[in-house]
Amino acid sequence: MVAEQTATVLASYGRGVLLQAGGATLHCALSGRKQRVVCGDRVHWAYPPSADGPSVQSIEPRRNLIERIDARGRAEPVAANIDRLAIVVAPEPSPDWFLVDRYWAGAMLKDLDALLILNKQDMGTESLKSELKTYRDLDLSCIEVSSQTGAGIAELKRMLAGNVTMLVGQSGVGKSSLVNSLIPEAAALTAELTRDDEGRHTTTTARWYSMDVASAIIDAPGVRDFAPPASLVRAAERGFTEIHRLSVDCRFKDCRHMEEPGCAVRTAVVAERIAQRRYESYRRLFRLYEKLAP
Ligand SMILES: Nc1nc2c(ncn2[C@@H]2O[C@H](COP(=O)(O)OP(=O)(O)OP(=O)(O)O)[C@@H](O)[C@H]2O)c(=O)[nH]1
Ligand SMILES: [Mg+2]
Ligand SMILES: [Zn+2]
């Protein structure tokens, strides 16, 4: 008899995983080369009689799987069983709003909550106000915080309670710093998963941190680009709430809002009822999907 137990995957290293089993953490091997386990997975593990140590026996069905497209256009799994994507921006490095749009679109397409966190509020946020207003007007929740001064951290913690939230965004915006502010015990653990690259600490693997029994935060590596998987091409517009809302008024039912006549979306852009930059964001994502489609 092999005693099997369930656990949550805190991090996946390719060859093995770090599990949280009850109150303890343990390293566990994968049981086959094909087994693909990601941060947030619920797995069954055991000590098989023939093996050297514990190994993952099976993965429970996932509620969802967050993937990103790698340089070759393939979907790469990052984390599973998430409730919310928290997109982090900061005055420094200056925000890539197109990346923010793609993350938000990715969240909507997976039916996840989304939240925009403006970190490093201590550096001054004047330059970001107009873009923030664009998102607030579209009903995306936004919060301004500083992991350095602690401003807004208690409120952020309340917003994240009861859910599993994944922090995403550019490298250097302060995702790991936010985890450390929200969960002081995480500080020591963060160090082991970061690489000291020319004096900088940068996250290399998605890592799950429990806030309490019902809440967790996943710190993910910073990215330069992200796109929801290309299998969702047809649904690109669904990721843009204001475009999706207007599409019912387009002349053609299958309007792509690119060059079609009678397009209600393009009319709204000209009339400035849809932000030009958001529309450009949609077009870029659409073209990317066209390029990736076989
Ligand atoms: N001024 C200021 N600096 C901050 C704040 N939060 C983080 N930083 C700094 O920003 C830099 C990057 O922080 P990290 O937490 O490593 O950023 P990250 O998003 O995890 O970066 P990656 O792991 O590379 O994706 C560090 O030098 C932090 O000290 C803040 O609220 N204010
Ligand atoms: Mg980090
Ligand atoms: Zn249209």
What residue segments make up the domains of the chain, in order of their start?
4-59, 65-219, 230-292
Taking 70 as the threshold, does the pLDDT of residue 193 lie above it? no
Which residue carries 């250097």 as its tokens?
172
Q: Which CATH number is associated with domain 4-59?
A: 2.40.50.140
**Does ligand 1 lie within 6 Å of residue 148's CB atom?**
yes
Q: How confident is the model at residue 3 (pLDDT cuts 50, 70, 90)?
A: low
Query: Which CATH number applies to 65-219: 3.40.50.300, 3.20.20.70, 3.40.50.280, 3.40.50.150?
Result: 3.40.50.300
Q: Could you tell me which residues are beta bridge partners of residue 87?
A: 116, 168
pLDDT top residue among 236 and 149: 149
Residue 173 Cα, ligand 1 centroid: separation in angstroms? 5
Taking 60 as the threshold, does the pLDDT of residue 232 lie above it? no
Query: Quick one: which of 142, 201, 208 has its CA closest to 171?
Result: 201
- If you average pLDDT over every residue of the chain, what do you get? 87
Task: Select, from the ranges 199-208, 213-222, 235-244, the one with the highest average predicted confidence (pLDDT).
Answer: 213-222
**Does ligand 1 lie within 6 Å of residue 202's CB atom?**
yes
Q: Which of 64-68, 79-83, 147-151 has the lowest mean pLDDT?
A: 64-68
**Phi/psi class of residue 143: alpha, beta or left (left: φ > 0; alpha: ψ in -120 to 50)?**
beta
**Does ligand 1 lie within 6 Å of residue 125's CB atom?**
no
What pLDDT score does 235 carry?
A: 61
Residue 113 Cα, ligand 1 centroid: separation in angstroms? 24
Which helix (H) or strand (E) is 69 found in, with range? strand 65-69
What pLDDT score does 184 carry?
A: 87
**CA-CA distance, 41 to 63, in Å (whole number)?**
9
Report the Cα 66 to chain-centroid distance in Å.
7
Q: Which of 12-21, 96-105, 110-119, 193-202 has the lowest mean pLDDT?
A: 193-202
What pLDDT score does 1 carry?
A: 44
**Does ligand 1 lie within 6 Å of residue 120's CB atom?**
yes
- Average pLDDT rounded to a whole number, residues 248-260: 88
Q: What architecture does CATH give domain 230-292?
A: Orthogonal Bundle (1.10)
Q: How confident is the model at residue 13 (pLDDT cuts 50, 70, 90)?
A: confident
